[in-house]
């Protein structure tokens, strides 16, 4: 069933152990942080409030209470402008408050998750597949709570983690110059 933005947000307050995200897109530029993305493209500094955005507080509160938030981004090089922004600014900012990031780089190998959409998995029982437009706008999501399909989504998570490397190691090797 489709989930309202409010109910989606509550999942981040209500999970007990872990929240996993699979990111598969090269562009989320119309889904939030638009001003920061524009500043990045213009070669400007981070806008006021970027380091203390609501998402940063959400992650920080979860991690401080002993919960794990982590994600794998499937990508290939060269990075899109948006990915350069997301990894250079967003991942570094969020990592500083405890979110964990991993990269599944498909530049020199097949994508083991070809066709799998973005999703969140909360405590291995609430799965939230997400929909985006081609130009990076978030269109909505549905929640699959306690669904028999959950095992398939968790298998996608496990495949992603088994092929990914920690973001810091990937960034040290491939960060754009």
Q: Which sequence spans correspond to the domains of the chain?
A: 5-174
Q: What is the pLDDT of residue 43?
A: 96
Cβ atoms of 87 and 95 within 8 Å: the answer is no
Predicted confidence (pLDDT) at residue 1 exceeds the cutoff of 90: no
Cα(158)–Cα(149) distance, integer angstroms: 15
> What does the radius of gyration of the chain's CA atoms come to, in whole angstroms?
16
Predicted confidence (pLDDT) at residue 106 exceeds the cutoff of 90: yes
Helix (H, G, I), strand (E, B) or coil at 134: coil
Predicted confidence (pLDDT) at residue 166 exceeds the cutoff of 80: yes
Cα(16)–Cα(19) distance, integer angstroms: 9
Cα(10)–Cα(122) distance, integer angstroms: 11
Predicted confidence (pLDDT) at residue 79 exceeds the cutoff of 80: yes
Q: What is the pLDDT of residues 10-63, one digit of tens each?
A: 999 999 999 999 999 999 999 988 899 999 999 999 998 888 899 999 999 999
Predicted confidence (pLDDT) at residue 91 exceeds the cutoff of 90: yes
Report the CATH fold assignment for 5-174: Endonuclease; Chain A (3.30.870)
Q: What is the pLDDT of residue 2?
A: 87
Cβ atoms of 97 and 59 within 8 Å: the answer is yes
Predicted confidence (pLDDT) at residue 168 exceeds the cutoff of 80: yes
Nearest to 58 by CA among 89, 106, 109, 15: 15
- As a whole number, the mean pLDDT across the chain is 94
Count of CB atoms situated within 10 Å of the CB of 87: 21
Predicted confidence (pLDDT) at residue 81 exceeds the cutoff of 90: yes
Distances (CA, A) of 124 to 17, 117, 133, 152, 171: 9, 17, 27, 11, 29
Q: What is the pLDDT of residue 99?
A: 98
Predicted confidence (pLDDT) at residue 103 exceeds the cutoff of 80: yes
Ramachandran area for residue 137 (φ above 0: left; ψ -120 to 50: alpha; else beta): beta
């Amino acid at each position: 069933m489709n989930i309202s933005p409010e109910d989606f947000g509550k999942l981040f307050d209500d999970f007990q152990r872990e929240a996993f995200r699979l990111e598969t897109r090269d562009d989320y530029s119309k889904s939030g942080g638009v001003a920061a993305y524009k500043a990045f493209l213009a070669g400007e500094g981070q806008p006021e409030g970027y380091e203390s955005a609501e998402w940063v507080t959400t992650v920080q509160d979860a991690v401080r209470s002993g919960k794990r938030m982590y994600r794998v981004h499937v990508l290939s090089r060269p990075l899109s402008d948006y990915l350069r922004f997301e990894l250079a600014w967003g991942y570094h900012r969020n990592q500083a408050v405890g979110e964990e990031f991993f990269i599944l780089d498909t530049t020199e190998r097949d994508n083991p998750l070809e066709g799998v959409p973005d999703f969140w998995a909360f405590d291995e029982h609430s799965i939230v597949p997400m929909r985006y437009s081609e130009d990076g706008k978030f269109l909505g999501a549905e929640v699959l709570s306690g669904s028999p399909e959950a095992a398939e989504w968790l298998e996608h998570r496990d495949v992603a983690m088994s092929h990914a490397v920690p973001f810091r190691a990937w960034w040290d090797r491939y960060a754009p110059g």
